[in-house]
């Protein structure tokens, strides 16, 4: 078996939460387990879908994967190495290698910076000279399906779909091999959601990019993911290929999630599975 690119070993994340007045007075704190023992191995080239209800710990796990948040317990391995032990150039290789795409493009893109500047900064951070970065802009935009005229614009002058493409381009500019996309389509119209999800699938196929796609929508992840993990209350309660999870859910929570897929459950579920099967069968 190939070595996992990214591995989570029994990850825990607890937040200390002050409770009522008495506890506050006595300085007693209660711990909230946002992530409660998650283990996962993501092989290179996989699109892994993480799905679950609001508050189940998806974003906490995403931030732990990209190194924005340290776990309370457990280990994250990148290319077989414990990221907590990485220093110097090795740490920079990891921080570059695992990039995040955020849900809210309004707050994740600097409203005062033109798109050119945002992308140039990312390319320069990767180690390119300004001249090399300028040359890299057109192919970078083409990769995410954007026209170069948008480079002169400010984020608010773009549509939601265009802003999310810029968010993806900024992540790609750093030169990652893993993209952690936390609810990348949930702020978009349904018509645009499919386009962004398809873009992620194309990047996976063309660049061999490994993708963790996080969503609360089972239909979204089952479209392109090779494997799905269903999360509930800080744990992964089910894991498998989308067709298996959708048609033969083992955990009661997964059944609830399937039942929550809106608009014509049966047809949409069947459609998701059909698309997922085509994706899995197709060349990687």
Ligand X SMILES: Nc1ncnc2c1ncn2[C@@H]1O[C@H](COP(=O)(O)OP(=O)(O)OP(=O)(O)O)[C@@H](O)[C@H]1O
Interaction site with Mg ion (CB under 5 A): 58-59
176 binds ligand X (CB under 6 A): no
What's the min distance (Å) between Cβ of 165 and ligand X?
A: 22
Q: Examine residue 55 and tell whether it contacts ligand X (CB under 6 A).
A: yes
Nearer to ligand X, 57 or 161 (CB): 57
Binding of residue 235 to ligand X (CB under 6 A): no
- Structural contact between residues 158 and 150, judged by C-beta atoms closer than 8 angstroms: yes
Taking the least distance from each CB to ligand X, the nearer of 32 and 142 is 32
Query: Which residues have C-beta within 8 Å of that of residue 98, sequence separation ≥ 6?
Result: 6, 65, 66, 67, 78, 176, 177, 178, 180
- Residue 171's binding partner among ligand X, Mg ion, none (Cβ under 5 to 8 angstroms by kind) is none
Q: Listing from the earlier edge strand, what are the strands of the sheet with 81-82?
A: 29-42, 6-18, 73-78, 81-82
The contacts of residue 267 (CB under 8 Å, 6+ apart) are: none
Residue 215 interaction partner, one of ligand X, Mg ion, none, beta carbon < 5-8 Å per kind: none
Q: Rule CB under 6 A: which of 10-29 touch ligand X? A: 15, 17
- The CB density around residue 10, as the number of other CB atoms within 10 Å, is 12
Candidate segments 19-27, 48-56, 169-177, 235-243, binder of ligand X by CB under 6 A: 48-56
Q: How far is the CB of 122 from ligand X (least distance, A)?
A: 25
The smaller minimum CB distance to Mg ion, of residues 58 and 77, is found at 58
Q: Are 52 and 230 within 8 A, CB to CB?
A: yes
Closest CA to 8 of 56, 53, 69, 55: 69
State the residues that interact with ligand X by CB under 6 A: 15, 17, 32, 34, 52, 54-60, 216
């Amino acid at each position: 078996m190939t070595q996992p690119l990214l591995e989570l070993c029994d990850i825990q994340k607890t937040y200390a939460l002050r409770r009522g007045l008495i506890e506050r007075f006595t300085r007693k704190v209660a711990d909230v387990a946002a992530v409660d023992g998650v283990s996962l191995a993501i092989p290179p080239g996989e699109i892994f879908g993480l799905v679950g209800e609001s508050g189940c710990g998806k974003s906490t796990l995403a931030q732990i994967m990209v190194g924005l948040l340290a776990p309370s317990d457990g280990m994250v391995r990148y290319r077989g190495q414990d990221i907590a032990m990485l220093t110097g150039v090795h740490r920079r290789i990891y921080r570059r290698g695992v990039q995040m795409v955020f849900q809210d493009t309004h707050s994740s893109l600097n409203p005062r910076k033109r798109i050119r500047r945002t992308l140039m900064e990312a390319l320069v951070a990767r180690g390119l000279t300004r001249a090399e970065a300028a040359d890299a802009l057109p192919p970078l935009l083409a990769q995410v399906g954007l026209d170069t005229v948008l480079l002169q614009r400010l984020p608010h002058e773009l549509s939601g779909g265009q802003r999310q493409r810029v968010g993806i381009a900024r992540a790609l500019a750093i030169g990652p091999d893993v993209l952690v996309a936390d609810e990348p389509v949930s702020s978009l119209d349904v018509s645009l959601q499919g386009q962004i999800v398809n873009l992620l699938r194309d990047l996976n196929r063309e660049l061999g990019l490994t993708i963790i796609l996080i969503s609360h929508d089972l239909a979204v992840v089952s479209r392109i993911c090779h494997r799905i993990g269903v999360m509930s209350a800080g744990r992964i309660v089910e894991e498998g290929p989308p067709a298996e999870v959708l048609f033969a859910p083992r955990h009661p929570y997964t059944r609830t999630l399937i039942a929550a897929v809106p608009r014509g459950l049966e047809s949409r579920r069947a459609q998701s599975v059909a698309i997922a099967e085509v994706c899995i069968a197709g060349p990687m």
